[in-house]
Every structure is written in structure tokens, then in C-alpha cells.
Amino acid sequence: MTNSQEQTTSPTEVPLEEAVPKSNGEAVTELPTEEVLVTEEIVEPEELEAQQEKKSGGKVWIGFDLGGTKMLCKAYSDKFKELGSRRKKTKSRKGDKSIVDRMIDTIEETLKEAERSKSQIA
């Protein structure tokens, strides 16, 4: 090709409105927009997380600390968020059966506070 045969092109600016194609290949004159979900209720993140956990019915993890003077039980979600907690005196002088009964009661009370059932214990 000689210089006289070469074609030169210069860049042209296309407004953004015209640059957005439709599905059929035609240009549109409107810009894409985002849809915004508007709700009338404002929910704090902690409350929303708690609502989601209740709905999920996920497993609950129980941690138990048994000492000579006190027992402490905590319930945690799958994401290690504390759901409930109970602390009681061990009352070890009343014997082993009393201690085991108090442990069971403490776990049941913790589950109730966490709004979980025994069947959800991991």
C-alpha cells in the first residue's frame, strides 16, 4: 500500500448513553440503574443476625465448666456467637447425683435462653 491508499481513522467519542447496547444490538439512550430495596423496618445488624440464626435452626455447641464451687454453661452458634449462658453454685456437699442433676438443669436453662432444643446440640 502506498501512502495515498492508506486509510486513516481518528478516534471519536461516543457518549456513554449511546454506548450501552440493548440485547438486540441497538444502542439505548438510558443508563443502567441499580435497584434499591427499600424496607420500612430498620433492623440493627446484631438483631438481624440473631433472627437469621433462629430461622436457620442451626446446631448449638455447649461449653461447660465444672468446678468445686461453681458451674458455668454457655451455648454457641455454628459461628461461635454466644447464644446463652448460665452460672450456678456446684453445691458439691450434696453429693454426686445432686451435681449431675444441677448440670443437666444448667444445660437445659442455657438451651432455653438460647432458644434451642436438646436435639440441636452438636
Question: In which domain, by residue range, is 112 found?
Answer: 58-120
Residue found by looking up cell 459461628 in the block: 79
14: three-class secondary structure by DSSP = coil
pLDDT in tens, 90-108: 998 888 888 999 999 999 9
Residue 37 placed within a domain:
no
Residue 34 placed within a domain:
no
**Local confidence band at 117 (pLDDT 50, 70, 90 cut-offs):** very high
Please name the helix (run of DSSP H) or strand (run of DSSP E) that holds residue 84, with its range, or none.
strand 82-89
- Domain count for the chain: 1
Over its C-alpha atoms, the chain yields an Rg (Å, rounded) of: 32
Residue 20 has pLDDT above 70, yes or no: no
**Local confidence band at 110 (pLDDT 50, 70, 90 cut-offs):** very high
76/83 Cα distance (integer angstroms): 5
CB atoms within 10 A of CB 44: 8
Residue 5 placed within a domain:
no
